[in-house]
Amino acid sequence: MLLLITFSVVCVPLLSGASTADPAPDRLASHLVSGLAQVCLSEARSSLCGPVERLETQLEELLEKMQTLPPSCPPGWRQQGSSCFFIPPQTATWLQAHHYCALLDGRARLGSVHPATHGLVRELVAASDSDRVWIGLIQLPGRRWGWVDGSPLDYTDWRRGGPTFRGEHCAHIYGPRNSLEGWNDTECDRDRHFLCEIRLDLQ
């Protein structure tokens, strides 16, 4: 504030005088007026631009900190290790569910189940009040099964007698509203609830 008052009281008259002075003033006086005017303009520029430059610096520092933060689960998702899981309230076919997970979060796919995560998956399925929940397991050529995220098939929980390999190429987990337990293979065009997963270690 003091700098702006100084600019108004001292600099403005000088600038004004510099523009209306005699066209043939004393050379020393002319240099003095010109020099003082430049000083006033420089000081005014510093007082106005300084806060903006500081804000720009603070914003750049904040963006750098955000880029170094580790990836995290969205609100409402449950984390186990490097995976986030969520069961939406909607039902869909297997393929629709796969796309819907990606719509919820661009990082998400139908979930895979592994030794470190099967406990949380069971807990989420039990809390979903669903009879069947799609997972990201599909039948591959050669009567093999694989996860859509490419992770190893290091854990299974097929119900007794499964999988049957009778043209049923997608897998679901039986939920609490069903008397059966474990995983089952079935037709992919059935409407089911579904398990979405975000792999934080793939970000």
Q: Are 11 and 43 within one domain?
A: yes
For the stretch 32-89, pLDDT in tens is 656 666 666 666 666 666 676 777 777 776 666 656 667 899 999 999 999 999 999 9
Q: Are 57 and 92 within one domain?
A: no
Q: Are 117 and 155 within one domain?
A: yes
Residue ranges making up the domain that contains 146: 78-202
pLDDT at position 55 is 72
**How many separate domains does the chain show?**
2
Q: Are 83 and 64 within one domain?
A: no
pLDDT at position 53 is 72
Please give the helix or strand (H or E) that residue 80 lies within, else none: strand 78-80
Q: Is residue 73 part of a domain?
A: no
Rounded CA-CA distance 10/44 in Å is: 12
Q: Long-range contact list for 180-185, CB < 8 A, 24+ apart? A: 182/157, 182/158, 183/135, 183/137, 183/156, 183/157, 183/158, 183/159, 184/132, 184/158, 184/159, 185/139
Rounded CA-CA distance 130/112 in Å is: 18
Q: Is residue 126 part of a domain?
A: yes
Write a three-state SS string for 22-78. CCCCCHHHHHHHHHHHHHHHHHHHHHHHHHHHHHHHHHHHHHHHHHHCCCCCCCCCE
Q: Are 88 and 64 within one domain?
A: no
Domain boundary residue, one of 21, 40, 68: 68
pLDDT at position 36 is 61
pLDDT at position 34 is 67
Cα-to-chain-centroid distance, residue 136: 22
Q: Are 129 and 156 within one domain?
A: yes
Q: Are 116 and 179 within one domain?
A: yes
Q: Is residue 58 part of a domain?
A: yes
Q: Are 91 and 189 within one domain?
A: yes
CATH of the domain at 150: 3.10.100.10
pLDDT at position 195 is 98
Which residue's structure tokens are 């750049």? 60
Q: Are 38 and 95 within one domain?
A: no
pLDDT at position 39 is 60
For the stretch 130-180, pLDDT in tens is 999 999 999 999 889 999 999 999 999 999 888 987 889 999 999 888 888
What band does 191 get if pLDDT is binned at 50, 70 and 90? very high
pLDDT at residue 17 greater than cutoff 60 = no
